[in-house]
Structure 1
């Protein structure tokens, strides 16, 4: 089995090899010509062993990482999920009848840009709701409500913008740990002929999907229910549900009727007695959410 070698061990072997060839009359004292030559070579050999060690780790999924894990996964048809742009509904105020063109630019105070992805006319009440997406991808673009308030480039007839609800479905690129788990699932639980594993694999291929549960024959013969969460194990948005539904529809076994849903929230009443501190309600909520 391959073992990493250190410069010290390599140098000792080189000195022994040199002595075998040149005899015991060679000066191997530190600082001498021969010692310097062997020492410099042993350092380079140590680097070569380190590279070989990394090469072995990259060859196996359990110890691989980054681009090497991406390539190992692709050998089995598992593609690393890309980061996604967040979506948001913008409420735009302006002159009635003016069209808000697709591609209009809006932003937050800290410079996060959003582009409208449809074209709509402002209604008689002077407002219109229009769908937009973040210009860049990532979870960082799931901005809070009422934070998209800037119009960086003036648009004729438009005077104000805001988002009544938070942006959603912005997800970071799939991390190594999640990708590895999907790869091992595909290899260890083969997905064939529309078995439950098949639907887990299909649903998990969509960026933003976290957990997946499959219920067989949930509404009679030929029916399958796929229950999903987002990557944060929260309730999936309608947009994400629709993406999963369409993806499965393209590849599902013929004849199956597939229903895709997300979790249903369960209300939990929590009562507590504060024994120290100021009992900030939002702080308590955050602590409970982090725990779950």
Structure 2
């Protein structure tokens, strides 16, 4: 609205109000008197532009976006801690339990034993918030001495840790909340409630999937991988703790029998024949090609909740492989043993399999 109010425009408009009988050239008294005021006004208009942009949800950022979305009950998701599975063994690889509250370290991160899953298997909570808690695997070191403990390992991600929600994600949830009014257990209501649960990255809702009053909700984890049974159980408990009870004890309305399931992984194996540039070998490009395919499959999983079904396309994989330095051409691409695309079901997501490259 104020973009055109530059220093030159403002100063010329001010000088136009001065009679032509007065010297208005640069360096004149009236020019030098008006120039500082014009500069301040130009700065003021710039700040007005910024403030105007911060007052609307589609252009606001940070604190100002939070204040706008909060007016409609949409709050920014805070950073959360990862829940991991810890494996503990005494001598001879005998499963061993550890005390609740025991602390262990791996690299720069510490983990606390929260609850027992099974003999020698414990739920560990990362003491640092964010996705960083999802990344490490391997041997754990006890911070305090635990008698009889011979080996400790950090294993599966049970509930992914999340960084604080980005402005774009918050803006999208706000737009959805405004445009898709959630009410009384409609599809928008289920999406809003389940997406707000820590560890959930997306959900598909299947109403009346097994008769009247039944609802199936299929979720994907916030790291866009298949959710762990622990995460599925947690969501089930929050939505409908007595499975298919219809009693409205959880967030589901009375009469709704809700079943929570996880997105099912489909392994994608890739075979291709490459033409490489001079002095380039398959071994040199193998890792980069795998990274390119992995990134493509991740992008599909990120879009899963908004698509009726995903299609892993041969052309897309080939285009990404061709972008790898050292790759000149590609032929004979096969996905899961076939030259065609792989069409997935509505509750399936693609995950990385083997990549076999020939020359």
Q: TM-score, normalised by structure 1?
A: 0.82
Secondary structure class of the residue paired with 1:202: helix
Q: Hey, what does 2:265 align to over in structure 1?
A: 265
After superposition, the Cα gap between the structure-2 partners of 1:228 and 1:120, relative to the gap in structure 1 and judged at 3 Å, is closer
Deviation of 1:63 after TM superposition, in Å, equals 1.5
Quick check: 232-241 or 73-82, which moved more? Answer: 232-241
- Judged with a 3 Å threshold, the aligned counterparts in structure 2 of structure 1 residues 45 and 238 are, in CA distance, closer, same or farther, namely farther
Q: Relative to 1, partners in 2 of residues 1:199 and 1:98: Cα closer, same or farther, differing over 3 Å?
A: closer
Residue equivalent to 2:112: 115
161, 164, 167: which one pairs with 1:170? 161
Q: Is the 8 A contact 1:144 1:166 kept in 2?
A: no
Runs of 4+ in 1 over 6 A off after TM superposition: 95-99
Q: Which whole-Å CA distance do the structure 1 matches of 2:155 and 2:215 have between them?
A: 36
Deviation at 1:43, TM superposition (A): 2.1
Cα distance change on mapping 1:137 and 1:43 into 2, 3 Å: same
Matches within 5 A, 1:4-153: 4-17=4-17, 19=18, 23-24=19-20, 26-32=22-28, 34-93=30-89, 100-109=98-107, 111-118=108-115, 128-146=120-138, 148-151=139-142, 153=143
Is residue 204–residue 210 contact of structure 1 (8 Å, CA) maintained in 2? yes
- Name the structure with the higher strand share: 2
Pick aligned residue for 1:290 from 289, 295, 300: 295
Contact 1:4 1:50 (C-alpha < 8 Å) held by counterparts: no
Tell me, yes or no, if the aligned pair for 2:199 and 2:231 is still in contact at 8 Å. yes
SS in 2 for 1:61: coil
Contact 1:206/1:244 (8 A) holds in 2: yes
Separation (CA, whole Å) in 2 of partners of 1:237 and 1:120: 13
Partner residue in 1 for 2:331: none
Structure 1 stretch displaced more, 192-201 or 261-270 = 261-270
Q: Return the match for 1:155 from 123, 145, 150.
A: 145
1:97 CA drift (Å): 12
Contact conserved, 1:206 with 1:243, CA < 8 A, in 2? no
C-alpha distance 30-270 of structure 1, shift in aligned 2 (>3 A): same
Task: Say what the alpha-carbon RMSD is for the aligned residues.
Answer: 3.0
- Residues 195-249 of structure 1 show CA distances to partners (whole Å, capped at 9, x for unaligned) of 1111111112123322321111111111001112123432122333234334434
- 1:273 is paired with a residue of what secondary structure? strand
Normalization by structure 2: what TM-score? Answer: 0.68
Give the number of the structure with larger relative contact order, counting CA–CA contacts within 8 Å between residues 6 or more apart: 1
**Unaligned runs of at least 5 residues, structure 2:** 241-249, 298-359
| Distance in 2, Cα, partners of 1:180 & 1:170 | 21
**Residues 1:34 and 1:239: Cα distance change in structure 2 (over 3 Å):** farther
2:252 corresponds to: 252
CA distance in 2, matches of 1:256, 1:266: 30
CA distance in 2 between partners of 1:167 and 1:217 (Å): 29
Distance 1:13 1:197 in 2: 53
What is the DSSP-based 3-state SS (H/G/I as helix, E as strand, rest coil) of the residue aligned with 1:107?
A: strand
1:101, CA displacement in angstroms? 3.4
Q: Cα deviations across residues 160-181 of structure 1 (Å, max 9, x unaligned)?
A: 4322445750222211222212
Alignment check: 8 A CA contact 1:79 1:205 kept: no
